[in-house]
Structure 1
Amino acid sequence: MILNKLKMILRYYHTLKYLKLRQFFWRIRYRFFRNNTADLSPPPQMRDENGIWKLPAARRASMVANNCFLFLNQEGELNSVDDWQNHSSKLWLYNLHYFDDLNANGSSERTEWHSSLINQWINDNPPAKGEGWEPYPLSIRIINWIKWHLKGNQLTPEAIESLAIQTRWLTKRLEWHLLGNHLFINAKALVFAGCFFHGIEADKWLEKGIEILLHEIPEQILQDGGHFERSTMYHALAFEDMLDLYNISNRFPRAFKTWNKEISTWPEIIKKMGQWLKAMSHPDGEISFFNDAAIGIAPTPSEIFRYAEDLNIECADLTKEEVIWLRESGYIRINHHDIALIIDIAPVGPDYLPGHAHADTLSYELSINDKRIVINSGTSRYGLGAERERERSTAAHSTIEVDKENSSEVWAGFRVARRAYPLQPEVLSNKNEISVSCSHNGYLRLPGRVIHKRTWNITETQISILDQIDGKYSSATSRIFFHPEIKPDLNNLEGHFSVDNQQFFWNLSNGDPVLSNSKYSPEFGVQMDNVCLEINIDSPTVEFRIELPNSNIQNSVQEI
């Protein structure tokens, strides 16, 4: 009992020691000194300015019938006031309050439903009460209502009044205790509201939003264009956010004239974000799965790129380069004819905000002939529970687990204690070979002081993954997860799989391999059966090799 308490105290210590002082300060302030009174004064006047507004990126439709919704692949109905607050999933309720369907695919066909839903929300959700008044869903709803209006719909006077009340409430609840994408979306909402309305109060909202963004954009968007949480899903959302901000700056140019110099840098930042997303997407057009990532939360990459093009922002496609090293965010993509290999040599995220991190260091995903072959297990849910813990664990990723421990101590849904850091990444490329190597220190905390080093190698005839484990350990397991469409077989230390009726043979240098059943979650609320090759490692090194048809390697490395 005492030992368990001590372990928990140490876990909290190793989790909390990375937080910024202001995160502690604002958490205490919001808990004990919060103003719970909403400001119901009349709204400011709407801003009279008519610049150019482009149609934003559209998501999947989520309002499947009048008062019937499909979020996270779970259907639910809105039949009473209580339904706004009651659901087994808090994330599902958040989605209900987002109002994303106002700007989703085919939304113009549901305008009457949307008008009715906005009025229903106002009537059923009095100021400062319930899930919908939490700052994150509140921010997204403010943005969505304004987008809906800007594309030609009409918010009623009651909805305009509600928007002002919601924005005033948000100003008291900015998520300084969380920072990251939460604070970013708060600031974006203030900018949208500050542009939509006019006057002293609206100008203060706009100034505050821009002030936060001018700090957070260089903090959250890395020099290679990647979002600092190292999640492809959250990167796509941040990419969309930047496009929305640039869009609204064009719609209300006079409102932004004070910040013209700063805004002039946004297109270049957005271009880099687009390049990053292209590099981190599979040939099938969708995102790879590192950290919390799932298809269907952000608009599709192709839809976001359509939006960028409409705003006259061209994002170069670097996937024509054989090696793309996203050095600051920590990912590498290798393109070789019909092969796309995406490698994780990244930190799990910013130290003070690792909530969406998985213990996936030195994992990778592989596509051949535009089909996913080797994958990570994805994300099907948030919150607490055994499945959330499994999906974040090292054992759910195509990498190595030592002594049944995670490479980073992920726990409690969104927390990380001691975490792995990449060591000595190296990329070598010549006309005959491409090689990437990296180690991590996540297992140095174990008694055996273990270091895991992995080397990926592509030649004209072979992909190989060589693992070296230095230190003392009781057990080590390498896992290779296959996409559900891939059915590998196993015969001793070798086997094969087929892609589009083409056979690929693989083999191992040593180890004790078995094929096991697993679960793959490409979307929230979705779990598909797939196969995992588990290799119990019985020597300091093990090599997994896939034989390739003959081809030529070219010498080309592009760093971003």
Structure 2
Amino acid sequence: MTPPPFLRPLAHAVFRLPLYGLTLKANPPEALALGPADPWPGDGERAQRLLSGDEALSNPHDFNELSDIRAQGDPLANAWARQRLRAWLDSQRRWSEDAWAPETIGIRLANWLKHAPWLLDESQPGLSFDLKSAASIQAKHLARTISWAPGGRPRLAAAKGLMLWALAEGNDVLLEQAARILAEEVKTQIHPDGGHVSRSPALHLQVLKDLIDLKIWLNALNRELFDGLQSAMDRMGPMVRFFRMGNGTLAHFNDTGEIPAAQVSLALALAGARGKAMASAPHSGFERLSAGRALVLMDTGRPALDGHAHAGTLSFEMTVGRQRIVGNMGAAPLQHPAWRQALKHTAAHSTVTVGNTDSAPLSVEVERQEDQGAVWVNASHDGYQASHGLLHKRRLHLDAQGTMLRGEDSLEGKEGIEVALRFHLDPTVQAALSGDAQAVLLKLGDGAGWRFRAKGVAIELEGSVFKSGDDPPKRSQQIVLKGATGQGGALVKWAFDSLGKR
């Protein structure tokens, strides 16, 4: 049962009492039944930055860095991880709000267990005993408070950690509780088209990885899969293919930065996903236009009501082969709040901005047509209706050869409203404005040439950036069309067309 918010301070006061700690005491298991080694490769370079002090931990309580330390493969790095674990266990014996949040406990337990084979050195039996004691206590508290975890991936992560501990400890009561919660979460979080409710490709991939971990452990320890696990994975795998662009990474919508293509491929392989990418994901709110070597992904849904949502309705990303041409500006982690907020704005997306405000649609309408290999998508949203009295409509057409993307953006409603249409170019794209300001010549990273044109409006080139994770922002450019609505609104026609190799 989840207590109402006004009772949380009282519950927290109880958790801080020494008497509450006594209710969590239990004899730790003598041995742990562990699943296979963690299948997800870490970042050895990040581990080196952590060891040298050039990078700080984003969350000192979740131990997400263990995969990076393992990737470093260095005895000194392993020793650093054990020393950090020892210090954490000594300093976090009693409840605290940050360290003992349900989702944090779940992620921490999963990380400890998946890395236990190398983390718990036989030469340090005291460390092994103390970790098992702490994990047993935290799992008991997690079982009591798991419903307090926020909805979405945090609650699923909390239940995942509880299930892995139940499997390791051989606790059937906790296992049944975790299985029941996980079955309900995959039912509510995964749409019929396979998309995650967050509408975030990055979070979608993370949840799929969570489910893969659970299946691997359940199979290895000869336990039955919980209800809905396999069905959810069968739907989520093709949706990863839906989000995967020509360069192998995921489209940059809703808190998604640059995800290594190898990580995407590994998740698909471990999920055993055989289904092809759909053309349309109506429940998740995205459309996929594909022809020749060109691929366009368009956001045609309402923003989710969570911290991952960006104001990017009707924005799109485009790749040709492995070259990204147009997209959004990326994402930033929680420890960079200024960047994180800036990248959520509509202006950070390849779409229309009205009056330098963010769109907030209540309704999005979509229509799709295909004919002999060509694809049309007509979409509209009312995200500026309340603020400016305008309806935004966007029409995209990709020809059958994948050599031309044509678009129309219209605004219907009040006149005299300033608007801007933006196309954020990939950092690898070189752009030059034509002398009459009616076209932009684009040179892609592979040497291919493309051209952007627009009718009836001057074209400007402005600076832009692409941001991903803790990496410094990469400089890029954006094509900007500015103007104001006239009587009845405004209409802009534009196109990207291939000029071939140079």
TM exceeding 0.5: yes
Question: Using the alignment, how far apart are the partners of 1:266 and 1:69 within structure 2?
Answer: 41
Are the equivalent residues in 1 in contact too, given 2:186–2:232 (CA < 8 A)?
no
Q: Which residue of 1 aligns with 2:61?
A: 97
2: CA distance between counterparts of 1:100 and 1:298?
A: 20
After TM superposition, the structure 1 = structure 2 runs for residues 330-409 of structure 1, keeping only pairs within 5 Å, are: 330-349=285-304, 353-382=305-334, 386-408=338-360
Matched, 1:222 2:167: no
- The structural deviation recorded for 1:206 is 1.9
Structure-to-structure mapping, 1:89-488, within 5 angstroms: 92-94=57-59, 96-104=60-68, 106=71, 109=74, 110-129=77-96, 131-149=98-116, 156-174=128-146, 176=148, 178-198=150-170, 202-254=171-223, 256=224, 262-263=226-227, 265-295=228-258, 300-308=263-271, 313-318=272-277, 324-349=279-304, 353-382=305-334, 386-408=338-360, 419-423=361-365, 425-431=366-372, 433-448=374-389, 450-459=390-399, 460=401, 461-473=403-415, 474-488=417-431
Cα distance, 1:186–1:339 mapped onto 2, change above 3 Å:
same
Structure 2 partner of 1:42? 26
Distance 1:117 1:382, change over 3 A: closer
- SS of the residue corresponding to residue 470 of structure 2 reads coil
Distance 2:259 2:294 in 1: 25
Amino acid at match of 1:286: T
Shift of 1:217: 0.5
CA distance in 2, matches of 1:387, 1:102: 26
Name the residue aligned to 1:555: none
Aligned pair in 2 of structure 1 residues 162, 177: CA closer, same or farther (>3 Å)? closer
The number of residue pairs the alignment matches comes to 476
Q: Which has the higher contact order (CA 8 A, sep 6+)?
A: 1
Q: Give structure 1 stretches of 5+ with no counterpart.
A: 1-21, 77-91, 409-418, 551-560
Give me the TM-score of the superposition, normalised by structure 1: 0.78
Distance 1:219 1:346, change over 3 A: same
Query: Shift in Å at residue 536 of structure 1?
Result: 0.9
Report the CA distance between 1:185 and its aligned residue: 0.8
Could you say which residue in structure 2 is the equivalent of 1:68?
A: 51
Instruction: Work out the CA distance in 1 between the residues paired with 2:456 and 2:260.
Output: 41
RMSD in angstroms over aligned alpha carbons?
2.8
> Kindly tell me: are residues 49 and 291 of structure 1, through their superposed partners in 2, closer, same or farther at Cα, counting changes over 3 Å?
closer
Instruction: Output the CA distance in 2 between the equivalents of 1:44 and 1:128.
Output: 18
Instruction: Decide whether the 8 Å contact of 2:28 with 2:132 is kept in 1.
Output: no
Question: Using the alignment, how far apart are the partners of 2:405 and 2:319 within structure 1?
Answer: 12
Q: Identify unmatched segments of 5+ residues in structure 2.
A: 122-126
1:380 aligned partner, one-letter code:
A
| Equivalence for 2:124 | none
Q: C-alpha deviations, 1:114-146, integer Å up to 9, x for none?
A: 333322221232221374333333221100111
Distance of 1:217 and 1:387 partners within structure 2: 31
Contact 2:249/2:261 (<8 A) preserved: no
CA distance in 2, matches of 1:130, 1:176: 12
Secondary structure in 2 matching 1:520: strand
Q: How far apart in 2 are the matches of 1:186 and 1:502? A: 47
Deviations 1:17-37 (A, max 9, x none): xxxxx98x5423323333313
Whichever residue aligns with residue 378 of structure 2, its letter is S
Cα separation, 1, equivalents of 2:261 and 2:119? 23
Equivalent residue letter for 2:47: V
Query: SS in structure 1 opposite 2:146?
Result: coil
Over 3 Å counting, the alpha-carbon distance change for 1:295 and 1:237 in structure 2 is same
Aligned-partner Cα distance in 2 for 1:548–1:377: 23
Q: Does 1:495 align with 2:440?
A: yes
Residue deviations 1:365-423, cap 9 Å, x none?
Answer: 01113111101011124368554332111111001011222102xxxxxxxxxx44312
Deviations 1:410-458 (A, max 9, x none): xxxxxxxxx44312x111111152101110111111242x110101101
Could you tell me how far apart the structure 2 residues matched to 1:299 and 1:526 are? 22
**Matched residue SS, 1:33:** helix
Q: CA deviation at 1:40?
A: 4.9
Aligned-partner Cα distance in 1 for 2:373–2:130: 68
* Alpha-carbon spacing, 1:522–1:45, altered in 2? closer, same or farther (3 Å): closer
* 1:456 to 1:447, Cα distance in 2 relative to 1, 3 A: closer
| 8 A Cα contact 1:54 1:247, kept in partner | no
- In structure 2, the partner of 1:542 is 492
* Structure 2 Cα separation of the partners of residues 335 and 43 of structure 1: 58
Is the 1:519–1:529 Cα contact (8 Å) retained in structure 2? Answer: yes
CA contact (8 A) 2:183 2:229 kept: no
Equivalent residue of 1:294, what SS? Answer: coil
Question: How far does the alpha carbon of each residue in 1:306-339 deviate from its partner, in whole angstroms, 9 at most, with x for none?
Answer: 433xxxx233343xxxx71112111122221221
Structure 1 residue 286: deviation in Å? 1.3
Structure 1 residue matching 2:386: 3-state secondary structure: coil
CA distance in structure 2 between the aligned counterparts of 1:47 and 1:382, rounded to whole angstroms: 37
Change (3 A) 1:385 1:216: closer
SS of 1:290's partner is coil
